[in-house]
């Protein structure tokens, strides 16, 4: 019995020591996995017409690290592949990269964009034209997130464009090319050259997974850091240069070095497009392919942490506290602190000062920041959507309530002959007998 009491006392003492302690597990934010969970908000809208029937091409999913207390976080906009013909924000690779980069401390947005119904995988010219409209959507997405930066707790100066295959092509052309240059290259006539000649979209970095650019000279337009990843045997977008085609990862790397643009290159030897052993556009690949995607993600995170986003680390703080009923429970939180923060006292003090404050999520549409040329780019579709919306309003209008019926006096509705009959002695005698009979029955009951 004494031994049992001794063991209980010892365990209670250890537990009390645990209550008073703070366990801090540090990690390099933006490089390491410093968050366990990710919150996903599905099917948000970055488009101009934000109403119920939002076109699928304007939808995005938002991935954020659960429990993060940082107010201004870098955002990565991820764009899927598919040759500008098919694909969506739900692609396996896009979801993987969004989740893993959110665990590193980024906010990630997986967006849909315009797909060209006329594009053929075997028509390079049509693929180039599809690029123009997809790039226009990417520009609109950047404008939307910049406008809502405070609400979404992102840094408007730390927006990164990323994508695989066609998504990488979109990211590169959005960052390094203006619309006039791109339209000329893809032989697309522009009826309203005004705002379409606006400058390229300025971003913090570009992540190009096995994509490319149509003209290497366009890299002279900006000094934006680039991460390039590709397979050495890629026959869809070769890492090497191709005349009058797409310049791939290796060609971009050489040109970026020549222009002193910060960049990184990783080539997976012996692998094809999408880092598959033998590229198959129908199947995304098995576990081994996904492992290479993870390696590409870590390679990218290392570069970004060193050259683009730095100066912070995230600390995982675990405390044992008592709940309202006096039970001991474990609480885990993540605190982002300056990189030179070392002691537990500093961490606790920073945690108290920078506790996350709830902010009303009032997302503003991007229409105020969208140039006029894009507002009319899809005029036909917008007109049809407006018609549908008006129809909905007409249907939903309240139906006028019927006027209350005025009660009609009984005397006004009784014919004269019946009124005379009611006044006759015979009627009164009959009703009198009925009244007397009913009163007799009542008396008998009593």
- CA 155 to CA 158: how far, in whole Å? 5
Half-sphere exposure of residue 302: CA atoms within 13 angstroms, side-chain side:
10
What pLDDT digit, counting tens, does each position of 223-261 carry?
Answer: 999 999 999 999 999 998 766 689 999 999 999 999 999
pLDDT at 430 over 90: no
The verdict on residue 275 lying in a domain is: yes
- The closest of 267, 270, 263 to 295, measured between CA atoms, is 267
Q: Which of 110, 82, 107 is nearest to 94 (CA)?
A: 110
Position 20 pLDDT exceeds 70:
no
Whether 389 is in a domain gets the answer no
How far the first Cα of the chain sits from its last, in Å, is 82
Helices 166-176 and 124-147, packing angle to 10 deg: 60
**What CATH number corresponds to the domain at position 108?**
3.40.50.1820
288, 310, 332 — which closes off a domain? 310
Any domain includes 423: yes
Same domain (yes/no): 428, 293: no
Q: Are residues 90 and 233 in the same domain?
A: yes
pTM value surpassing 0.85: no
Residue 429 domain boundaries: 410-445
Cα separation, 165 vs 299, in Å, equals 17
Residue 62 tokens, joined = 């938002």
Q: How many folded domains does the chain comprise?
A: 2
Tokens of 424: 């006759």
Give the span between the Cα atoms of 110 and 38, in whole angstroms: 14
Answer yes or no: are the C-beta atoms of 76 and 158 closer than 8 Å: no
Same domain, yes or no: 305 and 435: no
The confidence score (pLDDT) of residue 251 equals 96
- Based on the fold, state whether residues 169 and 284 are members of the same structural domain: yes
Q: Does a structural domain hold residue 335? A: no
Beta-carbon contacts of 126 under 8 Å, excluding residues fewer than 6 positions away, are: 116, 118, 119, 120
Task: Classify residue 217: in a domain, yes or no.
Answer: yes
Q: What is the pLDDT of residues 195-209, one digit of tens each?
A: 444 568 999 999 999
Per-residue pLDDT band for 395 (boundaries 50, 70, 90) equals very low
Is residue 284 one of the residues assigned to a domain?
yes
Neighbours of 394 (CB within 10 A): 8
Closest CA to 113 of 75, 80, 143: 80
Residue 234 domain-assigned?
yes
Q: Flag whether pLDDT at 411 surpasses 50.
A: no
Largest CA distance in the chain: 123
Dihedral angle of Cα 343, 106, 178, 249, to the nearest 10 degrees: 100
pLDDT of 234 reads 94
CB 334 within 8 A of CB 314: yes
Among residues 287, 310, 333, the one where a domain terminates is 310
| 213 band by pLDDT with thresholds 50, 70 and 90 | very high
Whether the predicted pLDDT of 192 surpasses 60: no
Sign of CA dihedral 169, 171, 176, 177: positive
382: in domain: no
User: What pLDDT, on a 0 to 100 scale, did the predictor assign at position 242?
Assistant: 66
Shared domain check, 247 and 107 = yes
Q: 279, 310, 341: which is the final residue of a domain?
A: 310
- Encoding tokens for residue 392? 């909905």
- Out of 51-65, 134-148, 326-340, pick the least confident: 326-340
Say how many residues make up the chain. 446
Q: pLDDT tens digits, residue range 277-298?
A: 988 877 777 899 999 999 999 9
């Amino acid at each position: 019995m004494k031994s049992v009491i001794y063991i209980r006392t010892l365990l209670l003492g250890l537990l009390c020591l645990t209550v008073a302690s703070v366990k801090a597990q540090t990690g390099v934010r933006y490089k390491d996995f410093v968050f366990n969970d990710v919150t996903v908000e599905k099917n948000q809208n970055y488009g101009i017409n934000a109403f119920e029937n939002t076109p699928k091409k304007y939808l995005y999913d938002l991935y954020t690290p659960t429990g993060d207390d940082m107010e201004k976080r870098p955002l990565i906009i991820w764009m899927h592949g598919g040759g500008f013909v098919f694909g969506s924000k739900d692609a396996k690779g896009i979801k993987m990269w969004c989740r893993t980069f959110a665990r590193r401390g980024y906010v990630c947005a997986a967006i849909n964009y315009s797909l060209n119904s006329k594009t053929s995988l075997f028509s390079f010219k049509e693929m180039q034209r599809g690029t123009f409209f997809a790039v226009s959507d990417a520009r609109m997405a950047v404008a939307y997130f910049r406008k809502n930066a405070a609400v979404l707790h992102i840094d408007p100066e730390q927006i990164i464009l990323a994508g695989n295959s066609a998504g990488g092509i979109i990211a590169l052309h959005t960052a390094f090319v203006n619309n006039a240059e791109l339209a000329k290259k893809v032989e697309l006539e522009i009826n309203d050259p005004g705002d379409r000649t606006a400058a390229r979209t300025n971003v913090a970095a570009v992540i190009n997974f096995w994509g490319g650019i149509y003209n290497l000279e366009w890299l002279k337009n900006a000094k934006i850091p680039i991460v390039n990843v590709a397979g050495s045997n890629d026959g869809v977008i070769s890492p090497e240069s191709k005349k009058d085609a797409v310049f791939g990862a290796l060609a971009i790397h050489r040109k970026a070095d020549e222009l002193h643009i910060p960049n990184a290159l990783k080539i997976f030897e012996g692998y094809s497009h999408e880092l598959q052993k033998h590229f198959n556009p129908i199947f995304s690949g098995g576990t081994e392919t996904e492992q290479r995607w993870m390696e590409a993600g870590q390679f990218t995170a290392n570069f970004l942490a060193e050259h683009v986003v730095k100066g912070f680390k995230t600390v995982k703080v675990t405390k044992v506290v008592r709940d309202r009923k006096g039970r001991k429970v474990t609480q885990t939180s993540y605190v982002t602190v300056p990189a030179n923060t070392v002691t537990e006292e500093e961490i606790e003090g920073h945690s108290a000062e920078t506790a996350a404050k709830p902010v009303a999520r009032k997302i503003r549409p991007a229409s105020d920041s969208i140039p006029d040329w894009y507002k009319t780019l899809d005029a036909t579709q917008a007109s049809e959507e407006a018609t549908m919306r008006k129809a909905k309003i007409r249907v939903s209008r309240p139906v006028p309530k019927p006027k209350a019926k005025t009660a009609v006096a009984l005397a006004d509705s009784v014919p004269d002959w019946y009124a005379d009959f009611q006044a006759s002695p015979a009627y009164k005698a009959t009703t009198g007998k009925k009244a007397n009979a009913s009163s007799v029955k009542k008396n008998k009951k009593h």
